[in-house]
Structure 1
Amino acid sequence: MNLTISGHHLEVTPSLREYVLTKLDRVTRHFDQVVDVNVLLTVEKQKEKEKRQRAEVTLHAKGKDIFVESSHEDLYAAIDQTMDKLDRQVVRHKDRVQDHHHESHKRTVAGDVA
């Protein structure tokens, strides 16, 4: 898995990098076919204080690209919200990818009779 963590108008400190890595472990625990992850942490120059810190994640998995973003007044809270959204989408994608097609009961009974 390739991981890129970058900051826009922000220096990515080792503590921020470690926090993002611990949150991404939860996602990779659910789905191991992750190819590439890009994380962008941004501080926007807005007049209002709320929703100023922003976290974006682009995840390239086998069969799908997932993009998630979230804004909050605290960067760590924005990262938490983003990882929660990403986790839900990855679990949903995993459920869709898994093969849920089973042999129908009618076919097995008809095959036994013939």
Structure 2
Amino acid sequence: MQINITGHNIEVTEALRNYVNDKMDHMKRLEEYVKSVNVILSIENLVHKAEARIAVKGDDLFAEAGAETMYAAIDALVDKLERQLVRHKEKLTK
């Protein structure tokens, strides 16, 4: 699974990059469905936002989350992505 991390109005530090990679490792069990992940971290009006687009077999999934801290936004983003991936996996297996 290839993960691309970019930042808008924010410098993506090594700590943020490692945190995103660690959180995305939770999705290893669904890795067979994922081709690539593009994560964009940004700050808009004092709200830390994380958004991601995942290329899966036959579709693209998109999720975004905002919070007071970037780490909380990343946590919320990963939760949303996992729910979407599970739903996508169930559609494919039916």
The answer, yes or no, to whether TM exceeds 0.5 is yes
Aligned-residue offset at 1:63: 1.4
Give the structure, 1 or 2, with the largest relative contact order (CA under 8 Å, sep 6 or more). 2
Larger strand share, 1 or 2: 2
How many pairs does the alignment contain? 94
Runs of 4+ in 1 over 3 A off after TM superposition: none
Alignment of 1:51-62 (within 5 A): 52-62=47-57
Structure 1: segments with no counterpart, 5+ residues: 101-114
User: Share of identical aligned residues, percent?
Assistant: 45
Structure 2: segments with no counterpart, 5+ residues: none
> What TM-score do you get using the length of structure 1 for normalisation?
0.77
From 81, 92, 111, the counterpart of 2:76: 81
Alignment partner, residue 95 of structure 1:
90
CA distance in 2, matches of 1:25, 1:59: 14
Structure 2 CA distance for partners of 1:31 and 1:2, relative to 1, 3 Å: closer
Alignment partner, residue 4 of structure 1:
4
Aligned-residue offset at 1:15: 0.8
> What TM-score do you get using the length of structure 2 for normalisation?
0.93
CA distance in 2, matches of 1:13, 1:6: 10
CA distance in 1, matches of 2:85, 2:25: 13
Quote the RMSD (CA, aligned, Å). 1.1
CA distance in 2, matches of 1:35, 1:2: 7
Aligned-residue offset at 1:32: 1.7
